[in-house]
Amino acid sequence: MGNMARSKSDPSEGKVEDCIFCLIANNQDQEAEVVKKNKELVCFRDIDPAAPHHYLVIPIHHIHNCFSLQRDHIGLVERMAEMGKAVLREQGITDMMDIRLGFHKPPYISVDHLHLHVLAPSSQISNYMIYKFIPGTPSFITEERLRKRLKDNAPPVKFFNNCLSSL
Cα separations (Å) of 54 from 46, 119, 165?
A: 6, 5, 27
Comparison of 56 and 150: residue with beta carbon closer to Zn ion: 56
How far apart are alpha carbons 63 and 141 in whole angstroms? 17
Q: Which stretch binds Zn ion (CB under 5 A): 4-12, 39-47, 56-64, 77-85?
A: 56-64
* Chosen residue from 19, 63, 81, 118 binding Zn ion by CB under 5 A: 19
Comparison of 5 and 92: residue with beta carbon closer to Zn ion: 5
Comparison of 80 and 92: residue with beta carbon closer to Zn ion: 80
How far apart are alpha carbons 36 and 43 in whole angstroms? 5
Beta pairing, strands 53-59 & 140-142: unpaired
How far apart are alpha carbons 100 and 33 in whole angstroms? 20
Catalytic residue list contains 115: yes
* Chosen residue from 64, 100, 105, 113 binding Zn ion by CB under 5 A: 113
Which of 54, 73, 104, 115 does the annotation list as catalytic?
115
- Site residues (vs Zn ion, CB under 5 A): 16, 19, 21-22, 62, 104, 113
